[in-house]
Amino acid sequence: MNWWQTDHTHNPAARCWVKGADGHESFPVQNLPLGLFSDGDSGPRAGVAIGNFVLDLGGLIDAGLLPELDMLSDLLRERLNELLALGAETRRALRHALFALLTDARHRDAVAPFLVPMAHADMHMPCDVGDYTDFYAGIHHAMRVGKLFRPDAPLLPNYRHVPIGYHGRASSVVLSGTPVKRPQGQLPGADGPRFGPSERLDLELELGVWIGPGNELGAPVPIAEAAEHIAGFCLLNDWSARDVQTWEYQPLGPFLAKNFLTSISPWIITPEALAPFRERAYPRGADEPTPLPYLMDADDQAHGGLKLELGVWLQTRAMRQAGLPETRLSGGGSQALYWTVQQMLAHHTVNGCNLMPGDLFGTGTISGEADGSEGSLLELTQGGKAPITLPSGETRTFLQDGDRLRISAVARADGFASIGFGECVGEVLDS
Amino acid sequence: MNWWQTDHTHNPAARCWVKGADGHESFPVQNLPLGLFSDGDSGPRAGVAIGNFVLDLGGLIDAGLLPELDMLSDLLRERLNELLALGAETRRALRHALFALLTDARHRDAVAPFLVPMAHADMHMPCDVGDYTDFYAGIHHAMRVGKLFRPDAPLLPNYRHVPIGYHGRASSVVLSGTPVKRPQGQLPGADGPRFGPSERLDLELELGVWIGPGNELGAPVPIAEAAEHIAGFCLLNDWSARDVQTWEYQPLGPFLAKNFLTSISPWIITPEALAPFRERAYPRGADEPTPLPYLMDADDQAHGGLKLELGVWLQTRAMRQAGLPETRLSGGGSQALYWTVQQMLAHHTVNGCNLMPGDLFGTGTISGEADGSEGSLLELTQGGKAPITLPSGETRTFLQDGDRLRISAVARADGFASIGFGECVGEVLDS
């Protein structure tokens, strides 16, 4: 079975006996994302989101309810790296077994004891992130940001040939909800740099990509095999200090402007859950170059894209105090990715670089082409020159203390249940 | 006791009862570097280099020979991250205890059973490298390389203010001796990129810096405390594919040009061993700006530099076949570092970025100002335009298949025993 094909687990008419799961905005039985949770005094362990509950995977296995998967028993504690290393076949077997248990009410009495209300569960980083790589595949983001810096040549000559990426900091990748401490650093000034807290704190709306089996050093992954190494997806907010970035980034790229914090959503949305939302890769115009063969595969071109609805939501402190809900700042679609995640992975390994289970990619900021679909305040406010006005009457160029920022992703397609990614939020602390 | 001060363990007249240790070119009793080794069927464990032997630290402790350090017993297997986390006080206590055992012949019978000949020991990566950051602190390297790309403005305006650095790839940091597989990738061409093995494979002579205790996310390390977080030093060769680099590096910095392999020497040379070789930080001229206060500390300015003699050595396959020894290509001094490693660390954390025990820094390529002290072939051959001639009559611009490249560092100072760093070698495989 191919990674873009659907089966009975995608049937939108399937009914789940867990209360509130059917039609759940994020976690219906067609989703079944993986995460690491704890409740009470027990240590972190693997769980699956279903409706407003977390299903304790290790508990299910120990009770003999997943008999064909009991080899997983030792892999479900403290971190999920080893589970991701197993690849698509195991993941699909797990999905099918869980789907069977959750859609047949005869299993209710046996399985229900392993459901933990989400309100009682603490989520943890699902994996120890060995290495974190951030790409730059959102072409409209690259174009808009390029225009701010180089109005005459917004896209550099390599952009349409190379899935541009750089290494980020793994140690400061944190879970949704972690407070955002405004970074200090060197800020550009007319008479040389000055020191202080960043005055241009921004978000970047990205997808995160979890790496599965990975490859040995020196052994590139061919594009046709790349999908096998992608274990799942999450939301990723690449918090950025634009003033620090402007001053520091030449010639070796962003560093302190980015590595103070990167927030991700806790649930690993599997490639299997997203199969109905596949679409063709970014359509290249006749005037655009064809990438080199190591990046091109017919299946990937036909099915390697992902169709997701993305959103950026803001609630300021004043809004919170006035009882105003968060407001949608912008949101586009993931079709703005010029490279598929399979192309990113094939590129990353073509020189022999080794990927490890639990490594993380960011796609780069995903902005749509249209106004109102920008994935960063840098774009939304044209580099801070065009403040936006909020429902509270406040204005924003960049993030202020007390701002609570949320990014979202939902997969929708005719004839399929919608799949949500869950939350990726952060509130800017007083500085 | 301050980190730059010497004590009785630096006495050059100290005599060690281990045969061949006194006057050893790298590992006299004044060095005592830490590493991870195995011999025969036993798993990796901590060892200390002394002469041509590895002293089994865990064995010593289990035998009760380091009574004040038996809390280390559990930390000495599989990886040294936890040992490095303990900081200078523990490291100094270990150094003093080992020095006492190795310089008093009355301990010979008890200790000698824990000496393993280096020829029987396999060395391992000393730590799991969580994150690897490469700086750009070699000012003559930055100047020469800058001239190749921007003849009119070799040093960018931020260079003298910002300890420029970027994140490298942790998974492909490997031990000395690992073969070098020539990376494939996109090479620049007149009609767009072409695909193939790199034709401009280069070395970069750097020092590696091992991080000790580290800091919590959001809690910067002040410059005055930075030295406490540096656990040791090694050699580091940042293998580079110059053709890939030229094409890919804008706007986010080097990626596939670097992440295929980074080689390090196996022994962690402690700050204590290097105390006699401290010197003032890079002397700034009157026309150079004073860095911002978070980078400036009187002790660091007075003692934060390191005086090492560095070397680059090459033996081609033809030289090997003709029985010719390796030839010294170049070599400079580590005084060419514009920033002290303490400044690098304070800068890295000033925005709240968290460093973890066992993280690794590279200093950036260390080239002297004079011809013949370049730390890369890019500089030695002026971007490939000026081939060098070898004793075999061969010429080189960049590395050829079969080339065996070694980098070296020795600390020498009047009145002290010399301290060597050991080997960092790599041979380029046939492609």
Predicted confidence at residue A41, as pLDDT, reads 74
* CB pair distance less than 8 Å for A289 and B192: yes
Say whether A158 and B347 touch across the interface (CB within 8 A). Answer: no
Dump pLDDT digits (tens) for B168-178. 999 999 999 99
> Which is higher by pLDDT, A290 or A150?
A290
Name every chain B residue with its beta carbon within 8 A of the beta carbon of A352. Answer: 172, 181, 183-184, 260-261
pLDDT grade for B331, boundaries at 50, 70 and 90: confident
Cβ within 8 Å, pair B352-A169: no
- Whether residue B333 has pLDDT greater than 80: no
User: Predicted confidence band at B144 (pLDDT cuts at 50, 70, 90)?
Assistant: very high
**Span B257-261, mean pLDDT?**
98
**How far is Cα of residue B152 from the mean position of the Cα atoms in its chain?**
32
A-contacting residues in B 317-376 (Cβ below 8 Å): 347-348, 350-356, 359
Q: Do A356 and B136 touch (CB under 8 A)?
A: no
| Token output for A77 | 């504690």
Q: Quick check: B294 contacting A, CB < 8 Å?
A: yes
Give me the mean pLDDT over the A238-263 stretch.
97
Interface with chain A: mutation pick from B79, B240, B252, highest number of A CBs within 10 Å: B252
Chain A, 260-289: which have a CB under 8 Å from a chain B CB? 260-261, 289
d(CA A355, CA B256): 13
Chain A hits for B359, CB-CB cut-off 8 Å, are: 171
CB pairs under 8 A between A and B: 169
Residues of chain A in contact with residue B247, where contact means CB-CB under 8 angstroms, are 158, 162
Give the mean pLDDT of B341-364: 98
Residue set of the binding site of A for Ca(2+): 134, 204, 206, 238
- pLDDT band at residue B77, thresholds of 50, 70 and 90? confident
Q: What is the mean pLDDT of residues B66-94?
A: 92
B351:A130 CB<8 A: no
The torsion defined by the Cα of A380, A136, A301 and A140, in degrees rounded to 10, comes to 20
Partner residue facing A217 (CB), from B130, B172, B347: B172
Gap between the Cα atoms of B35 and B14, Å rounded:
23
Q: For the residues A293-305, what does the mean pLDDT come to?
A: 98
Q: Which of A168, A181, A261 sits opposite B167 (nearest CB)?
A: A168
The pLDDT value given to residue B334: 74
Among the ranges given (A317-331, B51-65, B69-83), the one the predictor scored with the smallest mean pLDDT = B69-83
pLDDT tens across A80-117, in order? 999 999 999 999 999 999 999 999 999 999 999 999 99
Task: Write down the mean pLDDT value for chain A.
Answer: 96
Write out the binding residues of A for substrate: 136, 150, 245, 249, 365
A88 interface with B at CB cutoff 8 Å: no
> For A177-227, what is each residue's pLDDT tens digit?
999 999 999 999 989 999 999 999 999 999 999 999 999 999 999 999 999
**How many angstroms separate the Cα of A420 from the Cα of each of A32, A35, A56, A410?**
10, 14, 20, 4
Residue A365 pLDDT grade (very low, low, confident, very high; cuts 50, 70, 90): very high
Considering only CB atoms, B158 lies closest to which of A130, A166, A247, namely A247
Residue A91 to residues A34, A63, A230, Cα–Cα distance (Å): 10, 20, 11
| Predicted-assembly ipTM surpassing the 0.95 threshold | yes
| Contact check, Cβ <8 Å, A158/B250 | yes
Alpha-carbon span B72 to A189, nearest angstrom = 49
Q: How far is CA A160 from CA A142, A285, B194, in A?
A: 11, 11, 14
Higher pLDDT, B324 or A332: B324
Query: For the segment A123-162, what is each residue's pLDDT rounded down to a tens digit?
Result: 999 999 999 999 999 999 999 999 987 888 899 999 999 9
The pLDDT, as a whole number, for residue B259 is 98
Which residues in chain B touch residue A254, judged by CB atoms under 8 angstroms apart? 252-253
- In this prediction, residues A298-325 reach a mean pLDDT of 97
Confidence of residue B208 (pLDDT cuts 50, 70, 90): very high
Question: What pLDDT is attached to residue B174?
Answer: 98
Cβ of residue A153 closer than 8 Å to a chain B Cβ: no
Q: What pLDDT, on the 0 to 100 scale, is given for residue A415? A: 96
Tell me what the mean pLDDT of segment A282-291 comes to. Answer: 95
The alpha-carbon gap from A281 to the nearest alpha carbon of chain B, in Å, equals 21
Averaged pLDDT, A331-358: 94
- Asked if A190 has any chain B CB less than 8 Å from its own CB, the reply is no
The per-residue pLDDT for B273 is 98
Rounded CA separation B406/A152 (Å)? 46
Domains and CATH numbers, chain A: 8-124 (2.30.30.230), 132-427 (3.90.850.10)
Task: Tell whether A292 is within 8 A of chain B (Cβ).
Answer: yes
Tens of pLDDT, residues B368-400 = 999 999 999 999 999 999 999 999 999 999 999
3 state SS for chain A:
CCCCCCCHHHCCCCCCCCCCCCCCCCCCCCCCCEEEEECCCCCCEEEEEECCEEEEHHHHHHCCCCHHHHHHHHHCECCCHHHHCCCHHHHHHHHHHHHHHHHCHHHHHHHHHHEEEHHHCEEECCCCCCCEEEECCEHHHHHHHHHHHCCCCCCCCCCCCCCCEEECCCCCEEECCCCECCCEEEECCCCCCEEEECCCEECCEEEEEEECCCCCCCCCCCHHHHHHHEEEEEEEECCEEHHHHHHHCCCCCCCCCCCCCEEECCCEECCCCCHHHEECCCCCCCCCCCCCHHHCCHHHHHHCEECCEEEEEEECHHHHHCCCCCEEEECCEHHHECCCHHHHHHHHHCCCCCCCCCCEEECCCCCCCCCCCCCCHHHHCCCCCCCEECCCCCEECCCCCCCEEEEEEEECCCCCCCEECCCEEEEECCC
To the nearest whole angstrom, how far is the Cα of A241 from the nearest Cα of chain B?
10
Residues on chain A touching B165 (C-beta within 8 angstroms)? 252, 255
By C-alpha distance, the chain A residue nearest B357 is A171
Contacts of B131 in chain A (CB under 8 A): 169-171
Chain A contact set for B193 (CB, 8 A): 158, 161-162, 292
User: Could you tell me whether strands B53-56 and B45-50 are parallel, antiparallel, or unpaired per DSSP bridges?
Assistant: antiparallel
Give the residue numbers of A annotated as catalytic, written as ranges: 141
Residue where the block lists tokens 């951030």: A134
Report whether pLDDT(B41) > 80: no
User: Residue A253 and residue B248: Cβ atoms within 8 Å?
Assistant: no
Q: How many other C-beta atoms lie within 10 A of the C-beta of residue B12?
A: 15
Q: What percent of chain B has pLDDT over 90?
A: 93
List the single residue in B with minimal CA-CA distance to A259.
B353
Checking if the pLDDT of B162 tops 80, the result is: yes
Q: Which residues of B are catalytic?
A: 141
